[in-house]
Amino acid sequence: MSRKLLLLFIVISFSAQAQLEPVELFSQAIGKNIKKYRTQSQDAHATRDFERADFLFDSLINNVVNGSTLDNFKVRKLSGRKIDLYKFEKPVFLMTYASWCTPGVGEIPALNEIAREHYKDIDFVVLFWDTKQKVREIASEYDKKINVVYVNELENNNCETVKTMKHSLGFPTSFFVDADKKILDVRRGVLHPYNEKYEISYELNYTSFLNGISLLKIIQGTEDGYASETP
């Protein structure tokens, strides 16, 4: 009996310790490194050393961002109603954007197709840093399976989380986040000439999005999908 009680005590102790382990938020993790990254990245771009710039970005993501927990903050739906980002309870594909960004001709159609295929298991969220009027003009291009939300920084000028997220990695940027809001990976948007053919643009973006979605599924379930997914 005493051994069972001892074992139970050990299990409870480890569980309590795990719950007390500090969680490093994305804003905290990147806030400690972003100044140095910006300086080195700007120097690399100034000398057109794009290989160095890509290396710096990948190092920041792999060594600093991945494994941190995405901050919770208020976003607005197209209706204007505020919700917490944590309202999305499934694994999240989060793309940050701005209305002045010009997507490749195949980008949005590719994202729409991916969302239609995987919405049952993943919450698709496109977050615009913009005003309600500008976002509503663009939102109709996205499939209804995609949650289009926005943050107007003028309403959040005292929110350090919003400032950090908006001004750190640029956009378009895709965050692949598990159900516990831990960041698994962050990837930049696909780059190709603006006059690229639709078929090529679509294929490049579809493949990029699918790779990130596959990562979420491998971590959260199986490579072929979740048990809830119908054939």
45-94 tens-digit pLDDT: 999 999 999 999 999 999 999 999 999 999 999 998 999 999 999 999 99
Q: How many structural domains comprise the chain?
A: 2
* Whether residue 181 sits in one domain with residue 90: yes
On the question of pLDDT at 109 being above 90, the answer is yes
Q: Do residues 194 and 85 lie in contact, with contact meaning Cβ atoms separated by under 8 Å?
A: no
Of 228 and 208, the structure prediction assigns the larger pLDDT to 208
Q: What is the pLDDT of residue 86?
A: 95
What CATH number has the domain bearing residue 110?
A: 3.40.30.10
* Whether residue 104 sits in one domain with residue 50: no
Domain endpoint, select from 51, 68, 85: 68
Q: What is the pLDDT of residue 229?
A: 39
User: Which has the closest alpha carbon to 60: 187, 210, 166, 180?
Assistant: 187
Q: Give CA–CA dist 188/90, Å, rounded.
A: 22
On the question of pLDDT at 132 being above 50, the answer is yes
Q: Give CA–CA dist 127/75, Å, rounded.
A: 8
On the question of pLDDT at 3 being above 80, the answer is no
* Whether residue 78 sits in one domain with residue 189: yes
* Whether residue 53 sits in one domain with residue 32: yes
Is 18 domain-assigned? no
* Whether residue 148 sits in one domain with residue 36: no
Look up the domain containing 109 and give its range.
74-225
On the question of pLDDT at 129 being above 70, the answer is yes
Is 195 domain-assigned? yes
* Whether residue 58 sits in one domain with residue 116: no
Q: Give CA–CA dist 128/155, Å, rounded.
A: 14
* Whether residue 64 sits in one domain with residue 119: no
Q: Give CA–CA dist 91/45, Å, rounded.
A: 34
Q: What is the DSSP string of 50-115?
A: HHHHHHHHHHHIIIIITTSBPPP-EEE-TTS-EEEGGG--S-EEEEEE-TT----TTHHHHHHHHH
Average pLDDT over residues 39-45: 93
156-186 tens-digit pLDDT: 766 777 878 888 888 889 999 999 999 999 9
The pTM (predicted TM-score) of the whole model is: 0.82
Mean of pLDDT over the chain: 84
